[in-house]
Chain A
Amino acid sequence: MSTGWRRRDFLTVFGGGMAGIALSPLPWKLLDDAAIWTQNWSWLPRLPRGEISTRYGRCTICPAGCGLRADIVNGQAFRLTGLPNDPIGGGTLCPLGIAGHHLRYHPARLRGPVEGGRIEEGGTGRDADARSLPLDEAIARLAGWINELQDVGASQTIAILDARPGRLLSEIYRRFSASLGAHYIPARTGGFSSDVLHAMGSAPLPTLGIDLAGIRTLLSFGAPVLDDWGAPSCANQFDRYAGSAGEGTTSSAALLIQVETRPSATAQRAGLWLRNAPGSECALALGLAHVIVHEGLYDRTGTAGQLLDGDGDARPSSGDPLNQGAAVGSSALCGYRELLAHYPPEQTAQLTGISSATIRDVARRFATAGPAVAIPGQDPGGGPLDPQAQQAIWNLNLLTGALDRRRGFVSRRALPLPQRLADAPGGAVTSLSHVPDGSLRMLIVDGALPDHALPWELLTRKLARHGARLVSLSPFRSGLARHAALRIPAPAPLEFWEEVPTPWDAPTATLAIAAPLAEPPRGALHPSALLERIAKLLGMPSPGGDADYLMLLRERAAAVFLTARGHVHRGRDGRRVPLDDYDSAEAFWQELAAGGCWIDDADKTVARLGPARRAFLDPSQPTSWDQGIASAPSAAGYPLTLMPFGPRSMAGEEALPPVMAKLYRESHLRSSPEDVHVHPETARRAGVEDGLPAWVETPAGKRRFQVQTDPAVHPAVIHIATGPAPASFGDLPQEEYPAVLELLSPNEKGVWRMTPARLRPVEC
């Protein structure tokens, strides 16, 4: 073209081009692809693809050990559900268990040993301030520290705190500490404190269980019977056997009487809720006993009758296990009668804030509408009841003959030990309160998620003022691990072979095995293996009898198999199979490893509780009984009582699966540890407002909380959940949530249910 390109030419070509493009698939195809692109953002996670299989196992996040079914994709569990008819879980899991497989991805999860960064040294307890170190080095470090103390003959300044006593691992801890000369301290389990039981009986008690099947009245002093997510608590048993008797529902014959200051879910749903004045459980129990004794409603044919009717002059037959105690009993019995004389219903009503008519009614109902059982509170956040209150509650059971019978407190046989451990049993058990203050220079804290909250002050009291070292075996860097100088993470729940020993309240022995559902991270080490290696380094005998943990578990299963008692709840279908039907220990083990649960036959031997039956005859410290009110150590200027609370296995500062945020942050279903619950009137008087921040001050310190008013809260009390707050899926939040545990000052008996406190508005 000689003339060259003109503007018109460009336009023409462009026009043709446009027409051509319009006639080609280009615009539509690009539009379609762009549409698809906007529907598949590249940052969306991709779903796993692969074969899906099913495995049965046990949840080991809390000591309950509910049976679970895991749906697996590419070798990883993606869904956990309960096993039908499971004797523990009853067919479902709690929220923690449902999301248990997420714990592996918790932002506070440790993937290997870490040292330093602890709070005492100005650190934050987070990995950022800490130094990770190879596993071998961490083990050598720990062995070195133990060796130092051994060398100066200070082995007794070492202690191991077992978060979940009763496991085979606990046996290993005991044997390890015995050969080292260190303390073995079990954490508290539910029900009556072992200290109390120990104090009441001259000889060691057999293991106690509660048989709730078919009972008609359950008198609970603050036990979370209906709202504890844990299966082994009374909750499931009571619910299953007796049916929930919530108000307004067509209740079954069973009645739950809840004595509790806090408007807990159990209190709100109980057939009868007695809201007692804070700390008046002991007085109430004595007041009820007063009515029962006064009106002669006690069990006249049983022990109480023998003792009370005989006025101490019981005619003991030679075969009666009480024989020995009767002589001592007579004087003490007078003491008990005298004690009760101080608690007529009118007097008790003043102390407890419950009307005398109600006290009479409840006492009569308890004594006559049997089988009836009274159980002590075990709020996992609030800690145990005062020992004397426990004793008074124990006595109620004694009065109505709820001991040593079906539908009451029973003794149960212990789980057999593997042969190699049975030959040389573990060493002594020390209660935390018996460890001298300021004596510990090294505390090794077991890695299991604790069942109950533990105020940090309770431990610091026991630690030496200078140079005390805390070693955490927790798989997480939260909780007590924040104070640890060295953290050697154990595998997280569902990552290792673990056993589910008998729950504290089970009427018979049980055993279940949790098979791992995922591989632990490379840097995690099971405590049994850790102790084994340290023992080797220190030249000590092997605490596990030269067997690894899995082998020990198999041997325990074999030992159970040898008893030839009981039956197995099969995991996959919930059927009951007699133990005799298994032809080998291996077949039995396979069944257990597939979610099975062995349940012992009931122990038909009676009267095994023997010496403990005399407990009420022997009020150990008569002077303090006069009070009947376990008041908070009074302090001027602190008009309110702070009562912490928490759900079991979720009390404390351990890890919750982030998805639990649905229950805390994204709804107000569960109390956040950032909230303080008060009566609207209390809030008004303190000058604080619903939904706004306020200071909670105790003699131990002060922290900021969000006020939540609730007309059901006792006006003299403020409640704060001890529990952990769920983390986010991302990093841990920069600010630590306000842990009420650091505001608590446990008394000399190790009780922290009540702390004097006051509420102050936050100045703008």
Chain B
Amino acid sequence: MSRNTTHRVRYGMAIDIDRCTGCGACMVACAVENNVSVPPPPAGDRKGLTWIRVYRLHNERPYPESRTAYLPLLCQHCGHHTPCVSVCPQHATDIDPETGIVSQIPERCLGCRYCMAACPYHARYFTWWDPVWPAGMEEIFNPDVSPRMRGVVEKCNFCHGRRQVALQRAAAEGRRQIRDDEYRPACLEACPVGAIHFGNLDDPKQELYDLVHGERAFRLLERLGTEPKIYYLSSQPWVRRLLHNGIPASRRHPDGGRPDVAALRHQQVLARDPRAEERRRS
């Protein structure tokens, strides 16, 4: 099939953990933007609907060594072997070849939750309850995002409704492409400290490009090979140690010094930077 694609992009994010204050504006902005319902009180954090969820990271030390950081976690929009897309039995989730955005079509979803079992980031959420809104509140729904019914999976789609609106505006002005500043997800817009950066990962002209190729950048569970498009930035050694490539919680403090851990960690360093070995030798 010929592709009349004029503009292929690979949308991604860089989130600066060192700047994040854990205020939660991104979570609320996301829920408001995407008409995310609020499940009743029994829901708790295990049955909630938080397309973006800020986790509190702690180095588990008492004062004065105690350190806290915040990690906003959203769908990582995996670019390779996308775990959820490959397992959905009926194409209810899909990766857009033009943008790299992983979408979820709730009307197609049968609620089998296989994609949730497949997602290592726990970034997919099931609507356990019928969405309930007080009378009249549907009048202030975001008209660009369709609400979900009970019994389906939902997740972050980089505020795709905003992209559609931006494309529509561009179309009305006779443009086929949108400018970089025309499409920004709600979480980014809400972040008071500018911790979230968004853009085309393939465009060297964008600030994002430098950020994700910088020293401070890494990705969660990078070695799973799913090529997530969310990058995290941190200079704090304990944060990097904690998050860097899937050392399980039991190994947060490499004090145990088991040789296999060291080997694995060494491997992980190599995986990220193949020239590290050379440098070490020289």
Contacts and interface: CB of A to CB of B under 8 A. Distances in A.
Contacts of B136: 105
A29 interface: no
B143 A73 contact: yes
B206 interface: no
21 contacts: A39-B108, A44-B147, A45-B147, A48-B141, A77-B140, A91-B192, A94-B25, A94-B192, A95-B27, A98-B25, A99-B31, A105-B134, A226-B21, A229-B23, A249-B18, A269-B21, A659-B28, A661-B38, A669-B56, A711-B60, A729-B137
A233 to B, nearest CB: 12
Contacts of B138: 45-48
Interface string B58-91: 1011111011101000000000000000000000
B121 to A, nearest CB: 15
B27 A667 contact: yes
B21 A98 contact: no
Q: Which 8 pairs of residues, A with B, have the shortest CB-CB distance?
A: A666-B48, A248-B236, A45-B138, A712-B66, A95-B28, A39-B107, A663-B24, A711-B62
A728 B139 contact: no
B39 A76 contact: no
A250 B235 CA distance: 9
Contact of A76 (B22, B61, B63, B139): B139
Contact of A728 (B41, B66, B149): B41
Given A76-B139, A712-B63, A99 B44 contact: no
B63 A714 contact: yes
B237 A248 contact: yes
Count chain B CB atoms within 10 A of each CB in A39, A40, A239 and give the residue with the most. A39
A659 B37 CA distance: 8
B45 interface: yes
B60 to A, nearest CB: 7
Contact of B38 (A40, A73, A82, A658): A658
B32 A94 contact: no
Interface string B235-264: 111010000000000000000000000000
A662 B25 contact: no
B131 interface: yes
Interface residues of A, dominant DSSP? loop
B276 interface: no
B137 to A, nearest CB: 5
A730 B130 CA distance: 12
Nearest to B73: A667
B64 A728 contact: no
A416 interface: no
B112 interface: no
Contacts of B38: 658-659, 661-662, 666, 726, 728-729
B15 interface: no
Contacts of A44: 131, 147, 149
Given A662-B48, A728-B40, 4 more contacts: A44-B149, A95-B28, A105-B134, A250-B235
A93 B33 CA distance: 14
B13 interface: no
A248 B18 contact: yes
B10 interface: no
Contacts of B191: 92
A663 B190 contact: no
B31 A265 contact: no
Nearest to B144: A47
A712 B24 CA distance: 21
Contact of A268 (B48, B50, B66): B66
B43 interface: yes
Interface of B: 18-19, 21-25, 27-29, 31-33, 36-41, 43-45, 48-50, 53-56, 58, 60-64, 66-68, 70, 107-108, 130-134, 136-143, 146-147, 149, 189-193, 234-237, 239
B64 to A, nearest CB: 7
B122 to A, nearest CB: 12
Contacts of A52: 143
Contacts of B139: 48, 73-74, 76
A34 to B, nearest CB: 14
A484 B63 CA distance: 44
A102 B32 contact: yes
A463 to B, nearest CB: 33
A268 B68 contact: yes
Contacts of B29: 81, 95, 98
Count chain A CB atoms within 10 A of each CB in B25, B140, B143 and give the residue with the most. B140
Contacts of A101: 140
Contact of A265 (B21, B37, B40, B58): B21
Contacts of B193: 239, 244
Nearest to A75: B139
B25 A659 contact: no
Contact of A81 (B48, B134, B189): B189
A4 interface: no
A93 B25 contact: yes
A248 B59 CA distance: 14
A546 interface: no
A679 B66 CA distance: 12
Given A45-B131, A105-B134, A227-B23, A666 B192 contact: no
Contacts of B48: 661-662, 665-667
Nearest to A78: B140
Nearest to A737: B41
Contacts of A693: none
A52 B107 CA distance: 26
B186 to A, nearest CB: 8
Count chain B CB atoms within 10 A of each CB in A91, A246, A710 and give the residue with the most. A246
A467 B254 CA distance: 66
Nearest to B138: A45
A417 B36 CA distance: 44
Contacts of A5: none
Contact of B45 (A50, A227, A667): A667
A74 B32 CA distance: 17
A263 interface: yes
A81 B60 CA distance: 36
A660 interface: yes
B54 to A, nearest CB: 5
A608 B278 CA distance: 66
Count chain A CB atoms within 10 A of each CB in B24, B36, B40, B107 and give the residue with the most. B24
A94 B190 CA distance: 8
A249 B239 CA distance: 12
A730 B38 CA distance: 9
Interface string A653-673: 000011111110111111000
A666 B45 contact: yes
A733 interface: yes
A79 B33 contact: yes
A47 B68 contact: no
Contacts of B66: 263, 268, 711-712
Given A248-B236, A667-B53, A98 B22 contact: no
Contacts of A730: 40, 132, 134
A248 B67 CA distance: 11
